[in-house]
Amino acid sequence: MFACIHAPGNLPLAVECARGFSPYIEENPPDTAIFDVRGLESLYGPPESLAREIERRVGVPASIAIASNPDAAMHAALGLRGVTVMAQGREAEVLAPLAVNLLRASPETAELLHLWGIRTFGEFAALPSLGVAARLGEEGVHLQRLAHGDGYRQLRPIIDPLEFEDEMELEHPVELIEPLMFVLGRLLNEVCGRLGARSLATNEIRVRLTLENAPEHTADLRLPVPMLDSKAFLKMLQLELSGTPPVAPVLKVHMRAEPVKPRRTQHGLFLPASPEPEKLELTVARLRHLVGDERVGSPELMDTHRPDTFSMRAFAPHAAQASVCESHVVESSPRLCLRRFRPPRYAQVIVVNHQPVRVVSSSVSGRVVMAKGPWRASGEWWRGDAWNRDEWDVALESGALYRLFQEVDGGRWFVEGSYD
């Protein structure tokens, strides 16, 4: 079943009304909208009730028709005033009195039909099909089927550009973050609602704040997994804006969400539990707010021999989940690990016979009872930040083990860390 609204001069209104009934809407300029109403019987009852509901919602004078195919519904709405409901098989009977020019034939065909004295759909439908095909060709056959109410084409629905953005101009400039959160919450609810209506989620939200007498302030949220939790977004935006607040009162808020398909995963029965992505993102955002952006994440070693060189990546356990998990216990001998001092602590070292015998630094001091070294480590001499040093493993009289190094160029000593 298809419904058609013919609202002269009010096409946007007709389309907006149609959106309340169906997502599949075809626009026929200048003033007609056709939409799919199959399956609405359980909501609105028989087609007559549905047609009355459409008429009530349009709110302006309009012709409404319901038929089994889009063309019959459109012709009835164009040619008959008020509400028309055509039962399946009775289209030809209802459409018969309509003027034949509603078929929108080519000028040549229209002229021929006029010369033959054909004025209505009924007269055209009554002509022998073979004769029409011989004289008017393929177009004639198509037009005669339309005049008979036999539609066979599919609806050509409007495809809206997928842009999810909203903005709000504020009556008075907002200086504090807290009242701004109410505005952002409202925009987030609207944008997330629209995304949800299309079964979409987002992995990027961009907020632009127009400021009073200051350049625009932006706050971006980039998420490793698509989400649609407006409360979590709001909390993350609050943390982001608390960290880098706008420098002047806010005049206008613009929000844009990047639509992506939602995440659908099938969890294995025997896989260990992992944090929920939404909760994890919020937790990581809170941690970043607490300790700083660069101090939270998964470390990744760099492809270099330079000591203590690594980068911090975003923690994404779900991406790492694909690798094979070992369920059995692997017995292994524990490794002696280094606990680093960042930055390495400057030390004064007394050297006798090329061996360090005493170390004095801000936190590590004592007589050296055993020292092994030196081990020369150097690299990247072709760069400005080359390193070149002699490393020592020492045991102090307390029994603690440390790694010391001496810069070859400057001769300064440092404690790099303790072995544990």
What whole-number distance in Å separates Cα of residue 174 and Cα of residue 271? 48
Closest approach of another protein to the CB of residue 174, in Å: 29
Q: Does 159 bind another protein (CB under 8 A)?
A: no
Contacts of residue 116, defined as CB under 8 A and 6 or more positions apart, other chains included, come to: none
Task: Kindly tell me the burial class for residue 417, based on how many C-beta atoms sit within 10 Å of its own C-beta (0-12, 13-18, 19 or more).
Answer: buried
C-alpha 123/C-alpha 290 separation (Å) is: 81
Q: Least Å distance between CB 310 and another protein?
A: 5
Determine which residue in the list 138, 300, 303, 385 makes contact with another protein, applying CB under 8 A.
300
The pair of structure tokens assigned to 15 is 């389309």
Site for another protein contains 264 (CB under 8 A):
no
Least CB distance to another protein at residue 43 (A) = 41
Among 198, 279, 367, 376, binds another protein (CB under 8 A): 279
Nearest one of 59, 70, 86 to 32, comparing CA atoms: 70
Q: Within 345-404, which residues bind another protein (CB under 8 A)?
A: 370, 372-373, 393, 395, 398-401
User: Contact with another protein (CB under 8 A): which of 40, 211, 338, 357?
Assistant: 338
Q: Can residue 286 be called a binding residue for another protein (CB under 8 A)?
A: yes
The one-character DSSP state at 415 is E
Instruction: CB nearer to another protein: give 342 or 354.
Output: 342
Comparing CB distances to another protein, the nearer of 57 and 279 is 279
At residue 192, what are phi and psi to the nearest 5 degrees?
Answer: -65, -35
Interaction of residue 178 with another protein, rule CB under 8 A: no
Q: What's the full length of the chain, in residues?
A: 420
Among 138, 169, 178, 331, binds another protein (CB under 8 A): 331
> Where do we find the tokens 């692997």?
330
Find the helix or strand (DSSP H, E) in which 51 lies.
Answer: helix 47-58
**Stretch in the footprint of another protein (CB under 8 A) among 75-83, 140-148, 243-251, 331-339:** 331-339
Q: Which is nearer to another protein, 189 or 418 (CB)?
A: 418
Beta pairing class for 32-36 and 164-174: unpaired
> Residue 254 has which token pair?
């613009």
Q: Nearest 5°: phi and psi at 193? A: -60, -45
**Contact positions vs another protein (CB under 8 A):** 271-276, 279-280, 282-284, 286-287, 290-292, 295-301, 308, 310, 312-313, 315-317, 319-321, 323, 325-327, 329-342, 370, 372-373, 393, 395, 398-401, 417-420
